[in-house]
Amino acid sequence: TIFGAKINPFAHIVNAIMGVLVGTIFALGTATTIAALRFSLTIGSIHAFHGGMSGAIVVGLFAYVLWKKTPKYVELAALTEPIGTIFIGGTIAQIIAPLGGIGGLFTWWGLFAVSCIPGSIIGFIILLTLKKANINREDFFEE
């Protein structure tokens, strides 16, 4: 635990995979469930909610756009998870539990980055592995 943030890349791995494979709504539901479990089991803080949920939304939205425009690159959406987690989730953390001026905001961004950057990269690698095994977004959606 650092400044109330309990670092856990696993949640971001799941966000990356769920956002790409099953879309925004299911990724958001999964992120909310993971945050609730982590918080209730005291292995996560209140920041698990806004950090995970914002990352899941961003991945899901980027995945949708990539799927429509260039479906062969949809897995790249996993790498957008830090946009939501760091900049949206970290900013919300500063509003909820301010650490001081602009330096506090950068501290939150750094704490969220430590967790979500490795998580999104691992999630991306897992998605590439699943793609080679012919498991992809099309398996979960009908057009």
pLDDT digits (tens, 9 = 90+) for 20-30: 999 999 999 99
Q: Which sequence spans correspond to the domains of the chain?
A: 9-133
**To the nearest whole number, what is the mean pLDDT of the chain?**
91
Dist CA 141 CA 143 (whole Å): 7
Dihedral angle, C-alpha 27, 87, 117, 62, nearest 10 °: 40
Per-residue pLDDT, averaged over 108-127, amounts to 95
Interval 46-77: pLDDT, tens: 888 999 999 999 999 999 999 999 999 999 99
Name residue, tokens 């690159």.
73
